[in-house]
Amino acid sequence: MRQFFVITALWLSMIPTAHADDELDALLSEEVITTASRSEESSRTAPGISTSITADQLRTYGLRTIAEAIDFIALGVSTSGRNQHGAAVELGSRGVLLTGDTGNHFLLMVDGHAVNEISFGTARFDRGAGIPMEAVDHIEVTVGPGAVLYGNNAMLGVINVILKPGSNLDGGYVVGTVSSAGSGRVGAAVGQAFEWRGEPGEILLAAEYFERQGPNFTVGPQALPPQLGGAIQRTSRDNSTPGIWGGTLSEGNFARVPSMIMTVDYSDWQVIAHIKEATFGDPFGPEFFDESKTSTEDRSLWLEISHNWVLPMGVDLMTRVYADGYSRFSVLHRGASQCGPDIGAVCRAETTRISRWAGLELRTNIDWFQDQKLQTSFGVDERVRYSGAKTDRINDATGAPFTSSIATYENTDIAFGAFAQQVWNISRTVGINVGARVDEDQRYEPVLSPRAAVSVAAWEGGVAKAMYSKAFRAPGRLATDAEIQFHVTPDELRPEIVHSGELVIEQTLGYHRAIVGVFRSLWLDMTEIHVLTPQERTDRFGAALDQYVVNEISQLRNVSEIDSYGVNAGYKLSSPDQRLTAGGNVTYAISRESRPDGSDREMTVAPQLSANARTAYSFGESLPRLGIAASYLGKRLANRAHNNGFNPIPEADAQLNVRATVSGLVWGAGYRVSADYAITDHGPYTIGAVEQGSIASPSAELNPVQPFTAYAELSYDF
């Protein structure tokens, strides 16, 4: 608890004082949120804790991904990942982070379009998201269950990326970025307002290409136990160091992400489309060390067409038609003995996952007195879903398959959801928001997700909110039905459920805003990738075989219950002329996981204490702007701290990242220079071929973190 007060004092010390007593100043400083209720409202009265991260903040603080924006600015949310430079970032909220969930406990949206794919619920918040940050108007981060409006995946929170309207650009831009981490990026966009047949419209088209080769790390060495029959495992393509994983990475740490996004608004119609292809190496995985041909490629393409019809008497009708496609193609290289008969060859295991879905949503909002005092919303959403998967094992030298395809799976089903919400602003000081959603899946009984919130502005500039919400997540079809090598099909899997209650007090005074809240959440039937214990492996496969199986055997399971409670606090201010801004957030949470066997243990990867702070100053319209931001994560257990036999139990030290950014204009072009420093050289994820403690390798190795990274960027607006 002492750390909580230390961090609070740290970011408070960065904030200078200011004075304003004009009520207009308070109104101008309020954040407008659309995600919590699907309509514009002040963050002070929205039924949830929300942070709006603006385009100005993204540029001022050198934020280049959704994950970075969350770490340095958002309240109650933090990220972790095995590769700090943009690969497989995981999100946690208020002491809870489910490792290996591929982002499926947060709902990610772009202009209200949910992008989580349906086979596993995967969403990317790193470079793999393929969203050009220069095209983003703001990012809304709402903490806590949001299933009442959005259904599946919205358990830890909802993140909505709002794009700039085309008229905002009124031309376009070109941009280029390089970094000391071996990355480069080029991007361009055009945006324009237009008129056609007497109706106004606007269009935005943005594209970028990101590539990274590096940084290089020295890891290992790790000694592997012998395989069946005493054979030494191949750990590289050329078999130069059999049984030894490690060295200096020079080829396997890479990324390539081309992407494009388009929005068109015309009259009452809106069209939005996105396409990306994100390819990442896996430098820290258990397969061949520094293998440049081992990779994961995510492809996605989605399109949405919506129509908003404004009727008399305060009635709005919205129709939304959408179609999404997603594929993941993973290539692993390993010794042939892990795929078929060991003839000294290299095996290439290719796993393909495909998901497609299309649906229709109808939504209505009625403003009964046309003054936003009494509003009723309701809607339905029905979608058709397809999931498919297969794994092929191929002799890499000849291209011939070792066996026919395995883990083949195909399924088509239908999902249905319906919601209703009632907003009643009884007076200027009291507001009520209640709602519920029901979701039906062919594998489960219908799930009801209710929410209720009451806000009371009992004093000048202040508001108190009490909220209760329930959310769920139904695992995807590939999680429940498909068999994958070294992964056992679940014996029985139930939808995850979370009940959450919170009390929040917010005070606004001029350009100052402070918020403090307490929360408690109870998570039931939460699932995670469980690594089978030695006894479980023996029971399932037999002792004679299991002692030679060096790969982990995993299974998705309900892990019973998580109890999480704690406190959030945030503060921000700006000077009346907006030249100086500052702020910070801190979250302290205690989360305990109760297992089916009656054991009680600490959560992994998610810290008890997380915080961020920032301050920026503009020296003048034609002079540079300086931004300094910091992100802090307390000490936490590594992802494989439990049931993997490591000695000592692996844990990551506290991490403090500090980023300084200078931006401005020179000779008509924009520039931005950033320097990022991390005080700890490792993160909370075990890496390498040793996935369980043994006599030869009793301890775990944690993912490396590059202490210093520099970025430089040039842009031109036209």
Query: 432-484: per-residue pLDDT in tens?
Result: 999 999 999 888 889 999 999 999 998 888 999 999 999 988 888 887 776 66
Which segment, 288-292, 366-370, 428-432, 564-568, is predicted with the most confidence on average? Answer: 564-568
Per-residue model confidence (pLDDT) at position 290: 93
- What is the DSSP secondary structure assignment for residue 476, as one 8-state letter? P
Please say if the pLDDT value at position 22 is more than 60.
no
Per-residue model confidence (pLDDT) at position 16: 42
Per-residue model confidence (pLDDT) at position 716: 96
Domain that includes residue 240, residue range: 2-717
Cis-peptide into 215, omega within 30 deg: yes
Please say if the pLDDT value at position 27 is more than 60.
no
Tokens representing residue 63 in the block? 């934020």
The rounded mean pLDDT for the chain is 88
Q: What angle do CA 571, 45, 614 make, to 5 degrees?
A: 20
Q: How much of the chain, in percent, has pLDDT values that exceed 70?
A: 90
Please say if the pLDDT value at position 28 is more than 50.
no
- Reported as a pLDDT band with limits 50, 70 and 90, residue 11 is very low
Strand 487-488 and strand 554-558: pairing? Answer: parallel
Per-residue model confidence (pLDDT) at position 229: 63
Q: Give 111-132 pLDDT, tens digit per residue.
A: 999 999 998 889 999 999 999 9
Per-residue model confidence (pLDDT) at position 486: 66
> What whole-number distance in Å separates Cα of residue 3 and Cα of residue 609?
7
Convert 574-590 to b/e letters by CB count within 10 Å (16 or more is b): beeeeebbbbbbbbbbe
Q: Which residues pair with 558 in a beta bridge?
A: 527
Our count of domains for the chain comes to 1
Per-residue model confidence (pLDDT) at position 450: 94
Residue 470 belongs to domain with CATH number: 2.40.170.20
Mean pLDDT of 635-642: 93
Q: Give 607-632 pLDDT, tens digit per residue.
A: 999 999 999 999 988 899 999 999 99
- Reported as a pLDDT band with limits 50, 70 and 90, residue 543 is low
> What whole-number distance in Å separates Cα of residue 12 and Cα of residue 613?
9
Tokens representing residue 281 in the block? 């190496």
- Reported as a pLDDT band with limits 50, 70 and 90, residue 98 is confident
Distances in Å between the alpha carbon of 640 and those of 94, 534, 599? Answer: 20, 14, 17
0.85 exceeded by pTM: yes
- Whose structure tokens read 């700039």? 164
Q: Among 48-62, 159-173, 489-503, 544-558, which is the least confidently predicted range?
A: 544-558
The residue that leads in pLDDT, 258 or 27, is 258
- Whose structure tokens read 């905002």? 168
Q: Give 335-381 pLDDT, tens digit per residue.
A: 877 776 655 788 899 999 999 999 999 999 999 998 888 999 999 99
SS3 for 227?
coil
Mean pLDDT of 547-555: 62
Please say if the pLDDT value at position 1 is more than 70.
no
> What whole-number distance in Å separates Cα of residue 451 and Cα of residue 133?
32
Q: Among 38-52, 411-425, 560-574, which is the least confidently predicted range?
A: 38-52
- Reported as a pLDDT band with limits 50, 70 and 90, residue 29 is low
Please say if the pLDDT value at position 400 is more than 80.
yes
CA 457 remoteness from chain centre = 33
Per-residue model confidence (pLDDT) at position 554: 77
Cβ count near 522 (within 10 Å): 15
Q: Give 45-67 pLDDT, tens digit per residue.
A: 677 788 999 999 999 999 999 99
The residue that leads in pLDDT, 486 or 699, is 699
Q: How much of the chain, in percent, has pLDDT values that exceed 90?
A: 61
Please say if the pLDDT value at position 328 is more than 90.
yes
Q: Give 641-682 pLDDT, tens digit per residue.
A: 987 888 899 999 999 999 999 999 998 899 999 999 999 999
Half-sphere exposure (Cβ direction) of 602: Cα atoms closer than 13 Å: 17
Tokens representing residue 347 in the block? 């095996």
